[in-house]
């Protein structure tokens, strides 16, 4: 039994987490193992996957976050090492 995914149902999916949902990347995992992007071909047993919207960050911000993490990990180790000597 084929069922067309109504605009109302799609809106429910998108509104669930509006700021995190990527409307352009909706995948239908068919019960027979196929993957489809055709939202109008939903059948019983199919699963709907809506991709999340990823936040784009600059390379500078990425390096900054990595350095903060390394600093936060190494500082206590170095303090404990210096206190024990």
pLDDT along the chain (85 residues), means of 10: 55 59 78 82 79 78 92 91 83
- The Cα–Cα gap between 83 and 72 comes to 17
Q: How many CB atoms lie within 10 A of CB 28?
A: 19
- Provide the pLDDT for residue 74: 92
Q: What integer pLDDT is reported at residue 71 of this predicted model?
A: 93
pLDDT number for residue 55: 73
Give the separation between CA 2 and CA 28, rounded to whole angstroms: 13
Q: What is the model's pLDDT at position 29?
A: 87
């Amino acid at each position: 039994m084929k069922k067309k995914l109504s605009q109302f149902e799609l809106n429910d999916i998108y509104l669930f987490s509006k700021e995190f949902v990527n409307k352009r990347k909706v995948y239908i995992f068919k019960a027979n193992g196929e993957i489809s992007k055709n939202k109008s071909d939903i059948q019983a047993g199919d699963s709907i996957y809506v991709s999340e919207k990823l936040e784009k960050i600059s390379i500078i911000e990425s390096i900054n976050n990595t350095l903060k993490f390394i600093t936060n990990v190494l500082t206590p180790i170095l303090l404990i090492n210096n206190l024990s000597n």
